[in-house]
Structure formats: structure tokens, C-alpha cells
Amino acid sequence: MVSLSTSPLLPTIILLLPLLAFLIVPHFLPPPRVPISSVDELYDLSLFHNATTLHHHHHHHHPSNNLRSGSGSLQSPKIAFLFLTNSDLVFSPIWNLYFNVTNLSNAHLFNIYVHSDPTIKIKSLDGFFKNRVIKSRRTQRSSPTLISAARRLIASAILDDERNSYFALISQHCVPLHSFGFFYNTLFGDEAINKGFPSYIEVLDNETILWDRYNARGENVMLPEVGFNEFRVGSQFFVISRKHALKVIEDRKLWRKFKLPCLNVQSCYPEEHYFPTLLSMYDPKGCTNYTITRVNWTDSVDGHPHTYYPSDVSPELIYTLRESNFSTSYMFARKFSPDCLKPLLEIAESVIFKD
């Protein structure tokens, strides 16, 4: 009978086990998920409740709206820019120029809100970004924390200014492709009136990935709230109307499902599904079904889009990125590497803000 301990191979394997485990395990274990604590959840509920209550209060007292999107005021509507970041806002100098509109009759037609992951220390913000950081929580890619962060931004903007009529979600890797005035006229001009002030949100339903994404939390887990035929996908970067922004922070039903952790992390991008699914269930005709934030998915690696580097930056690139197959030109583009700041600043006034 052969004793195990006499086998020369076994001690070697036992000695190597920790090393093998170290080499193999990290490739199979998903990164630890950031949980949403019940304290955070209660805070958000209170914030969303306060925002919707305030809106309905204003709405009641000022029923004569100048916008069907639900602004409760006769003064010029504003755009709320919602910056979602977990690193330095490296392009803030370009945005500071973008917002420095001195030739519009009422230049103060926007508000800025920043959600910045508090576990990451970012460089202090200046210009129009000074003191614009809202109470933020940890965020993590491919997790419901990104949905929470966007909803927190929306609620903060609704609470802050009843004139906020459109809500544009922007990432730290986004840059503008047109002037602020051009964007403003696109959202509120005559053409927008004819379109009924839609939300510019991508809503796709024929993507091959949808089945795996739908079942990422387990088979049939999304039922009964969301049937597979109601499940949608689209870019997280949207520009939505006040009416739809309110729907997003009023929702409890879909959030109960979308906040669940994924079993299949490879198919877990809740932030790309929650908003298009919710708004297409609620008001499909009110959604353009396309986004006005340009992104290049050609040769994407690990779910990251193509990144533009300084040598790519040119007037031609800006003109190309503006071109769309929809009735609205692209207003923003991502992703740009941080060192694109200088070449982009050089063409800001002469190209980017010349519409």
C-alpha cells in the first residue's frame, strides 16, 4: 500500500498551493462589489421624496408652464449639467469656457452638479465648478451604484432650481462638440417645440447581448416588473426632460430589481439598462431613442470605448464627431485621454464653439 506522504509530488503541490491560488483565483473571482447600505438607501429615498414633493408643490402654484417638460416657471428654462466622476475633472477648463457665455441675453441658463466618488480625492474644482459637488457615495463600474449616483444628481438638481428643465449626464471623459448656445437652442428652440421636448436617450431593443444582460441577476428575476420584451439597452449618457427626470426619481418598482447584485458579472451593466427600460416603459414616444453623446465602439476592449489621444485631436475630428444620422447633431463626445486638454483648448474658440 502506498502512503500518500511518500509521494514526492504531493508536498510540492501543497507548497505551491498558495502560489497557485494567488495566480488563478483573481482571474475567476469578480472584484468585490460595493454594496448599497440601507443607510444610503434611506438617505436617497428621503432626497428623492423631497425633490418630487417640492416639484409637485411648485407645479401646483404655477400651473402655467412655459414648457411641456414641466418647468414650473415662466422665466427662461435652464439646463442642469450633471457631472458623474471618479477622477479629476481634467476637462473643466474647456467646460469653464463653454459655460462662460457672455453674449446671451440671460447668460445664467445652466446649473452644474458634480457627483464625485468620496473615496477618491480629486483636485479642487474652480470656476463654474466651485462648490458644486453634491453629497456623493462610492461608485463602481458595472454596478447599481452608478444608477444611484445619477439619480442623486437628478434629485439634487430638481431640489435646487425649479427652472432646471433638462438634465444632461456627463462623464469626466466627455468634451463638448458645440457651443452652449447651440445646445441650448437645440433643446428649447422651435424644432424642439415641434418634437414635444423629448428626452435624448438611446433606447435599443434588438441587441444580441440582451438575453444575458436580462438574466444577469438570475433567470426570471426581473419578473414581473420587467418582461424580457420590455428590457432595453442604451448609453448611460443621456439628456432627459424634467418630466422624465421626475419619473426616474419617483421610481421604486424597477429599482427594486435593478439594484440586485449580478450573478454573472460579465453581463452586468445595470446603468445601461435601467434608464432606457424605465423611460421606454413609461413614455416611448417621448424618447428620441438616440443619444447626443458620441462614442466610438470600434475595436472596443473590455467594454471600454475607443479613446482619443492628442495626436487625434484636430478640427476634422470635431467635425466628424458632430455628424450623426439623426435629426440632431452630436453635442458631446467621449472618451478623450486627459492629455487631450491642451490641443482641445487650442481649438475651443476657433472650432468647438463655432457651430
Ligand X SMILES: *[C@@H]1O[C@H](CO)[C@@H](O)[C@H](O)[C@H]1NC(C)=O
* Residues in touch with ligand X (CB under 6 A): 43, 46-47, 50, 96, 100, 103, 127-128, 179, 181, 203, 206, 284-285, 287-289, 296, 298-299, 306, 320, 323-325
Q: How far is the CB of 128 from ligand X (least distance, A)?
A: 5
Q: How far is the CB of 261 from ligand X (least distance, A)?
A: 25
Q: How far is the CB of 216 from ligand X (least distance, A)?
A: 21
CA-closest candidate to residue 235, choices 296, 164, 313: 296
Nine cell digits for residue 326? 439623426
- Whichever of 3 and 325 has its CB closer to ligand X, that residue is 325
Q: How far is the CB of 268 from ligand X (least distance, A)?
A: 22
Distance, CA of 318 to CA of 294 (rounded, Å): 11
Phi-psi region of 13 (alpha: psi -120 to 50; beta: other; left: phi over 0): alpha
Amino acid letter, residue 120? I
Q: How far is the CB of 186 from ligand X (least distance, A)?
A: 11
In the block, cell 438611446 appears at: 202
Collapsed DSSP state (helix, strand, coil) of residue 234: coil
Distance, CA of 296 to CA of 270 (rounded, Å): 20
Q: How far is the CB of 321 from ligand X (least distance, A)?
A: 6
In the block, cell 422651435 appears at: 190
Residue nearest to ligand X as judged by C-beta position: 181
Task: Answer for the pair 313, 345: CB distance below 8 angstroms, yes or no.
Answer: no
Query: Dihedral (C-alpha) 40, 43, 45, 47: value to the nearest 10 degrees?
Result: -130
Q: How far is the CB of 32 from ligand X (least distance, A)?
A: 27
Q: Can you spell out the DSSP letters for 75-126? A: SPPEEEEEEEESS--TTHHHHHHHH---SSSS---EEEEEEE-TTS--PPP-
- Whichever of 6 and 206 has its CB closer to ligand X, that residue is 206
- Whichever of 150 and 262 has its CB closer to ligand X, that residue is 150
- Whichever of 212 and 323 has its CB closer to ligand X, that residue is 323
- Whichever of 118 and 181 has its CB closer to ligand X, that residue is 181
In the block, cell 431613442 appears at: 289
- Whichever of 198 and 262 has its CB closer to ligand X, that residue is 198
The number of C-alpha atoms within 13 Å of 142 and in the hemisphere containing its C-beta is: 17
Task: Please name the residues in contact with 309: beta carbons below 8 A apart, sequence gap of 6 or more.
Answer: 337, 339, 340
- Whichever of 84 and 203 has its CB closer to ligand X, that residue is 203
Nine cell digits for residue 231? 428590457
Distance, CA of 220 to CA of 228 (rounded, Å): 9
- Whichever of 206 and 311 has its CB closer to ligand X, that residue is 206
CA 94 to chain centre: 20
Q: How far is the CB of 330 from ligand X (least distance, A)?
A: 8
In the block, cell 454573472 appears at: 264
Q: How far is the CB of 22 from ligand X (least distance, A)?
A: 34
Q: Can you spell out the DSSP letters for 18-56? A: HHHHHHHHHHHSPPPP----HHHHHHHHHHHHHHHHHHH
- Whichever of 267 and 282 has its CB closer to ligand X, that residue is 282
